[in-house]
Structure 1
Amino acid sequence: MPEHLRALIVILFLASVVFLLARRPACDLIPLRDFKRRRNLWFLLTLLAFFSHSFWLYLGAGAVILYIAGRREHNPMALFYLLLFLIPPASLQVPGFGLVNFLVELNHIRLLSVCVLLPAALALRRQGDTLRFGRTWPDRLLAAGLLLMSVLYLRETTLTDTLRQTFYLYIDVLLPYYVASRGLRQISDFKDTLLAFVLASFLLALIGVAEYVRHWLLYSALVDAMGVPWSMSGYLGRGGSLRASVTTGQAIVLGYVMSVAIGLFLFVQGYVRRPWQRLMGALLLAAGLFAPLSRGPWIGAMVIVVVFVALGKGALRRLALLAAAGMLALPLLTAVPGGDKLLDLLPYIGNVDKDNITYRERLMDNAWIVIQRNPLFGSFDFRNTPEMQSMIQGEGIIDIVNTYINVALRVGLVGLGLFLAFFASVLLGMRKAMRSFADKDDERRQLGRALLATLAGILVIIFTVSSITFIPVVYWTIAGLGVGYSQMVRRLHDSQVSELAGSGLQTG
C-alpha cells in the first residue's frame, strides 16, 4: 500500500477520535447540524485529496464541493477556519496558454478564499448595513500598505507579474481580512468562528502528537502523490526527536497555530459545561504546542496567557501566582523523568540548537546595515548584499526568520510603519471596545480579552519566523476579527443610545 494511503488510515482514525470527543462540547456553542455538516465536509475533502492523485483534480472537484457547501453555510468564516489546515498549502502554476509564462499560482488556501470567502464578500457588499471598506483606521492603514507594496513591485518585476502579485495581495490579504471584519455581527457568530479554529487545531494537535511519537510526517507523502513540488515537506529534528508539522510545512508554523488556538480556546472553553472536557481540550492543545518543539510559539503562548490574565479580574494576584508557578516548575522539571530534556530545549536556558538563536541575532545586526542603505522603501535585491550573503545556511538559503525584518528589507521603514500601525490600531480599537463593559465577566468583554491576547501573542511569534504557509492568513484574519469585534461593540453602544433617546422622547 502506498505511504500516503497508509497515512490516510491513521489520519482518519485520529480525526474520528477528535470529532467524536468534540461533538458534545461543540454543541454547547453551535447547533448539532452545523457541526455534522462541517465535519462531513472535512472528511469528504480529505478523502478527495488522498484519492485524487492529482492536484488539478482536487482543485476542480473541491471547487464544486465548496461552492455547494458554501450556499448552505450561514457563517463562511467558520467554514474557512475548519477547512483551512486540511492539506499542505503547496502551490501549482496555472499555465498561461502561450500568452504569459503562467497565470497564477493556486493552492488550498486560495481555493478556500475563492470558493468560500469571495462569495461571502460579494454578499456582504450587497447588504446595506455592511460597513464600507475604508471607514476604519485599520482599513486605511491596510489599504495604504497594500498599495505601497503593489507600486514597489514595479521596480523589481514586469507589469504582468506586478498585476499577478497585486491579485495575490487581494486574495491572500484583503479578502480574508474583509470577510473576518465584516461577516461576524453577533456574539454567536464569534463563538461559531472561534470554535471552528479550535476544532481544526484539535485535529492538528492530535495528528502532530502522533507524528512526534511515531517519527512519521503523515502528510509528507500526500504532496508527492498529488504531483506538487514542495520544499517544505522534509523531516526536521531537534534534541533527537522529530519536529511535527502536520499540514503546515514547518514545525514553527504548527506551533504558531497551536498558540493562536490556545488564545481562542480561552474564550471558547467558558461555554463548555463539563470541566473534564475543558481540561482535555487544554491538554490536547498543550501537547500540540509541544510536538513541534518550536520555542518561539512557546514564548508566544506564554504572552497570550499573561495578557489574558492581566486583562481579567484580580490581575495582579493571578499574575503573581502564575509567576510563582513558573518559577517552581523549572526546578521541578529536573526531578521529573524527561524533564532535563525539556529544560535543554528552552531558549536561553538549554543548549539544544543554540545556533538558531545566534543566527537570529546576526540576522538583526546584518539586516539593519542593509536597511540603512534604503531606509524608506527598502530594496528588491537585498538578498544579494554582502551582509545577507553571509547569512546563507547549509541548505543554501537565506532564512529571514523575522517577519518585521522581512517587511523592512522589502518595503522599507515606511512599509514597516504601516504594518505596525495597522496592528496597533486594531489592538487599540479592541481595548477601547472592552472598556465600554463595566462588568469584567461580560461575555463580550471576555471575547475582546481573548482576541487581544491572541493578537499580542501573534505579534511576538512573528518576530521569530517569516510569513510562510499559514502564518499570514491567520494573523490577517485574527486582526479582522478584532476589527469586527470593535464594530460589534460600537453597534451595540449606538443601539443603546438610540433606545435611551427614544425612551426619553416618550417620557417627555
Structure 2
Amino acid sequence: MSNQIKIPIVVFMVVLAAKILLVMMGRKKKEDTEILVLWLLIATVTSLVHSFYVLVLVLIIIKVTYLRNDLGKNVVAFFALWAVIPFHFIIHFPLPSVPLMNATYQRMAFVIWILPLLPKLLDQARMKERRVFFDVPVLYLIAMGIFVAFSEHVGYPITIITSIKEVMQLFMDMVIPYFLIVLWADTWAKLKRVLFAFLLAGIVLSTFGVFEAVFSWNVFTELVFREMIPVSETDKYRAFLRSKAAFPESIAFGIYILITLGIALAVMFRDKKNMMGKLVVVGAMLAALYATQSRGDQIAAVLLLSLYFFFKMQSSSRFILLIFMAIVFSVAGYTYKQQSPAGAGTDLDEVDEHGTFDYRKRLFETELALIPKHPFFGNTTYMKEPSMEALRQGEGIIDPVNTYLTIAVERGLVTLFFFMFFILRSVRACLSYVKYGYAVNNQVWVNLGAALTATVFALSVALIFTSFADTNPPVFWFVMGIARAMQLNLNKMREISRGKDEYDLGYA
C-alpha cells in the first residue's frame, strides 16, 4: 500500500478513536464531529497531492463553505486545527518564498480564516478594547519582539525584508491569537468553546501517540524514512514525535499535550458523570507525555497533577499538605540525583541518551556569566562569545535549553521581569477562580481555577528544560490568553453581582 493511502487511513482511525473518546466522556457535540471531519479532509487531500497550493485551496474552500463569517466557528476551528497532523513532512514548512512570511500551515489558516474577521472582532469588543489593549507586560514584550526583529542575529544577515517578516510572524503566531482569545472569549460559553477546541486537538494527538505505541506499528518511521535509512530503536518508537508531524521536537509536542491535559482537567471534571471515559482521556494524554521521553515534560506533568489537587483544597488544608509535599519532593529529588548518571567526562561533540547533564550544567553557567555584560536589554549576538562557541555541539549548534536564562541573556533582565510578571499575573487570575468558587459555593469555578492554575505553573516549569523557540512561544501565548480572558470574565461576573455591569455578558 502506498504512503499516500496509508496516511489518510491512519488519520481516519485516529480521528474515529478520538470521537469515541469524546462520546465516552459524555460530549456529543456536532461541532466536534465537524472539526474532526475537517481534520481528516485536510490531512487526506494534502497527503495525496503534496502541494502547498492545494492546501491553501482547501483552507479557502473550508472558509467559504463551512466557516464563512461566523466568528465563533472560525475561532474554534483555528485553535482546534492549529496542531493538525501530518503536514511537516508532507509539505516541508516553512516556505520562505511567500511574501511577508515564512509560510506554515498555521499562518495560512490564520490569514484565510481569522484575518478577514478582525474588524468584526474589534467592533464586537469596542466597549472594552481600551482596557484590554492597555496591557503593560504584553505591550513591552511586543515592543521587545519588534526590537529584536530589527537587531543583529547570529546565523543569518538582517535585512528590511527579513525583519518585516519576523514582525509579521510575531503578530500572526502570538500577538493576534492572544488578543483573539482575550477579546472573543468574553463569556463563559465562549471561553468554554475555546477550551474544548484545545482539548479536541490534544485528544487527537494523544490518541495517535498511544495508537502507534500500542500496536507497535511504526507508521511514521515507514512513511517518513522512505529510503529506509537506519534509525535507532528509540527513534522507531518515537517516530511520530521525531517526524515533525506537528511539532519540531518531542519536548514541544509534550508541552502542547501538557497544556491540553490541564484544560482536560478544567472542563471534564466539573461533575462526576462518565468518569471512566474521562479517566481514559487523561490516561491517553499521560501515555503520550511518557512517550516523549522528555524529563522536563514528565516532571511538569507530575507537578500539574499535584498542584491540581492541591489548589482544589480549602486554603486551610493547603499548608499542611505543602509541608508534606516539600518533604516528599526533597527525598525524591535527592534519590533521583543519586541514581542518575553523573555525566562527568561527557564528550561535547555528542548528545548521549542521558541528555548530557554535564553539558547542560556548563551551558547554564556560561550563559549566567554573560548576563552582567548586558544586564538590562541583553545581547542578541551572545552566541558569538568565545565561551559560547566552546559549547558548540557535533551538529554545529548551541541549544540554549532554559527559556528564562536565554531571555535574560538575549533580551535582558527587564524583559525577563515582564515575562515573569506575565506568568505570575496569569497564575493570580486563575487562582482567583478558586477563591471565587469557594466564596459562592460553586465547584465548577473551583475546578476550572485549580486546573488552569496548575497548567500555568506546569508550563512555566517545562520552559526551564527547553528553549523558547519553534511552537513553544505560540503555545505559551495561547495559555496566557486563556488566563487573561478568565481574569476579565471574573471581573465582569463580580461587577454583575454588584449591579455595576455596563452590558450583559450572558452569565444568567
TM-score (norm 2): 0.82
Distance across 1 between alignment mates of 2:338 and 2:130:
44
**Which range moved further: 492-501 or 236-245?**
236-245
Question: SS of the residue aligned with 1:93?
Answer: coil
What letter corresponds to residue 143 of structure 2 in structure 1? L
Task: Tell whether the 8 Å contact from 1:93 to 1:103 is kept in structure 2 after alignment.
Answer: no
Q: State, as a whole percentage, how many aligned pairs show the same letter.
A: 21
The correspondence of residues 77-476 of structure 1 with structure 2, limited to 5 A, is 77-87=75-85, 88=87, 91-95=93-97, 103-128=100-125, 130-132=127-129, 135=132, 139-156=135-152, 157-212=158-213, 214=216, 216=218, 218=220, 221=223, 242=238, 244-245=240-241, 246-271=245-270, 273-313=273-313, 315-316=317-318, 319=321, 349-351=339-341, 353-432=353-432, 434-437=434-437, 438-439=439-440, 441-476=442-477
Distance across 2 between alignment mates of 1:108 and 1:235:
28
Task: Tell whether the 8 Å contact from 2:374 to 2:412 is kept in structure 1 after alignment.
Answer: yes
Task: Tell whether the 8 Å contact from 1:94 to 1:106 is kept in structure 2 after alignment.
Answer: yes
What letter corresponds to residue 257 of structure 1 in structure 2? Y
Task: Tell whether the 8 Å contact from 2:178 to 2:481 is kept in structure 1 after alignment.
Answer: yes
Q: How much has 1:298 moved relative to structure 2? A: 0.9
Q: How many residues are paired up? A: 470
Q: How much has 1:244 moved relative to structure 2? A: 4.5
Task: Tell whether the 8 Å contact from 1:408 to 1:415 is kept in structure 2 after alignment.
Answer: yes
Task: Tell whether the 8 Å contact from 1:448 to 1:482 is kept in structure 2 after alignment.
Answer: no
1:494 corresponds to: 495
Distance across 1 between alignment mates of 2:151 and 2:482:
34
Q: Residues 376 and 220 of structure 1: is their aligned pair in 2 closer, same or farther, counting only changes over 3 Å?
A: farther
1:44 corresponds to: 41
Q: How much has 1:67 moved relative to structure 2? A: 5.0
1:338 corresponds to: none
2:155 corresponds to: none
Distance across 2 between alignment mates of 1:56 and 1:105:
14
Distance across 1 between alignment mates of 2:484 and 2:275:
31
What letter corresponds to residue 498 of structure 2 in structure 1? V
Q: How much has 1:56 moved relative to structure 2? A: 2.7
Distance across 2 between alignment mates of 1:428 and 1:262:
20
RMSD: 3.5
1:336 corresponds to: none
Distance across 2 between alignment mates of 1:237 and 1:391:
28
**Which range moved further: 75-84 or 140-149?**
75-84
Q: Residues 63 and 218 of structure 1: is their aligned pair in 2 closer, same or farther, counting only changes over 3 Å?
A: farther
In the alignment, structure 1 segments of 5+ residues that lack a partner are 97-101, 226-232, 331-343, 502-508
Question: SS of the residue aligned with 2:72?
Answer: coil
Question: SS of the residue aligned with 2:464?
Answer: coil
Distance across 1 between alignment mates of 2:15 and 2:231:
22
Task: Tell whether the 8 Å contact from 1:67 to 1:116 is kept in structure 2 after alignment.
Answer: no
What letter corresponds to residue 41 of structure 2 in structure 1? L
Q: Residues 240 and 224 of structure 1: is their aligned pair in 2 closer, same or farther, counting only changes over 3 Å?
A: closer
Q: How much has 1:93 moved relative to structure 2? A: 3.2
What letter corresponds to residue 132 of structure 1 in structure 2? E
Distance across 2 between alignment mates of 1:382 and 1:220:
40
What letter corresponds to residue 398 of structure 1 in structure 2? I
Q: Residues 128 and 182 of structure 1: is their aligned pair in 2 closer, same or farther, counting only changes over 3 Å?
A: closer
Distance across 1 between alignment mates of 2:230 and 2:187:
42
Task: Tell whether the 8 Å contact from 1:255 to 1:288 is kept in structure 2 after alignment.
Answer: yes
**Aligned pair partner of 2:67 in 52, 67, 70:** 70
Distance across 2 between alignment mates of 1:42 and 1:144:
36
Task: Tell whether the 8 Å contact from 1:426 to 1:483 is kept in structure 2 after alignment.
Answer: yes
Task: Tell whether the 8 Å contact from 1:145 to 1:418 is kept in structure 2 after alignment.
Answer: yes
Q: How much has 1:177 moved relative to structure 2? A: 0.4
Q: Residues 133 and 22 of structure 1: is their aligned pair in 2 closer, same or farther, counting only changes over 3 Å?
A: same
Q: Residues 73 and 182 of structure 1: is their aligned pair in 2 closer, same or farther, counting only changes over 3 Å?
A: closer
Task: Tell whether the 8 Å contact from 1:366 to 1:387 is kept in structure 2 after alignment.
Answer: yes
1:230 corresponds to: none
Distance across 2 between alignment mates of 1:15 and 1:128:
35
Per-residue deviation, residues 151-189 of structure 1 (Å, max 9, x unmatched): 243331233322221111111111110011121122222
Q: How much has 1:122 moved relative to structure 2? A: 2.8
Distance across 1 between alignment mates of 2:301 and 2:47:
33
What letter corresponds to residue 476 of structure 1 in structure 2? W
1:504 corresponds to: none
In the alignment, structure 2 segments of 5+ residues that lack a partner are 153-157, 342-351, 503-508
Task: Tell whether the 8 Å contact from 2:430 to 2:453 is kept in structure 1 after alignment.
Answer: yes
Task: Tell whether the 8 Å contact from 1:407 to 1:416 is kept in structure 2 after alignment.
Answer: yes
1:333 corresponds to: none
What letter corresponds to residue 51 of structure 1 in structure 2? L
Q: How much has 1:94 moved relative to structure 2? A: 5.0
Distance across 2 between alignment mates of 1:212 and 1:427:
35
Distance across 2 between alignment mates of 1:317 and 1:152:
43
Q: Residues 261 and 378 of structure 1: is their aligned pair in 2 closer, same or farther, counting only changes over 3 Å?
A: same
Distance across 2 between alignment mates of 1:234 and 1:197:
35
Distance across 2 between alignment mates of 1:43 and 1:271:
30
Q: Residues 489 and 76 of structure 1: is their aligned pair in 2 closer, same or farther, counting only changes over 3 Å?
A: farther
Question: SS of the residue aligned with 2:498?
Answer: helix
Distance across 2 between alignment mates of 1:287 and 1:325:
27
2:484 corresponds to: 483
Distance across 1 between alignment mates of 2:225 and 2:186:
38
